[in-house]
């Protein structure tokens, strides 16, 4: 290890900074973030997402539009 790299690693060890603690917030800032999350859009309880229900709805809508188009074509006399 070069002298510069060694001094950098020693200064990080002395100051107590590592990659984990660099991302932490001060308590005042964390309190502000928590307060923001609890109000407005973020505080609304939502039902769980149901992908199968969405897929079923999509299939029903596509089939309904397909049947409507077939009835419309038959009614217009194209077939």
Q: Which residue has the higher pLDDT, 44 or 5?
A: 44
Q: Which residue has the higher pLDDT, 21 or 47?
A: 47
The answer, yes or no, to whether residue 2 has pLDDT greater than 60, is no
Separation between Cα atoms, residue 7 and residue 15, nearest integer Å: 12
What tokens appear for 36 in the block?
């923001």
The pTM of this model reads 0.46
Separation between Cα atoms, residue 8 and residue 71, nearest integer Å: 76
- List pLDDT tens digits, range 9-34: 444 444 444 445 566 889 999 999 88
Q: Which residue has the higher pLDDT, 29 or 7?
A: 29
Q: pLDDT at position 59, please? A: 98
Q: Which residue has the higher pLDDT, 33 or 7?
A: 33
Domain boundaries defined on the chain: 1-46, 47-79
């Amino acid at each position: 290890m070069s002298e510069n790299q060694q001094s950098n690693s020693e200064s990080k060890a002395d100051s107590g900074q590592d990659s984990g603690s660099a991302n932490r917030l001060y308590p005042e800032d964390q309190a502000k973030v928590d307060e923001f999350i609890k109000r407005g859009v973020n505080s609304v309880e939502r039902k769980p997402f149901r992908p199968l229900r969405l897929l079923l709805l999509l299939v029903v809508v596509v089939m309904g539009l397909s049947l409507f188009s077939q009835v419309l074509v038959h009614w217009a006399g194209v077939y």
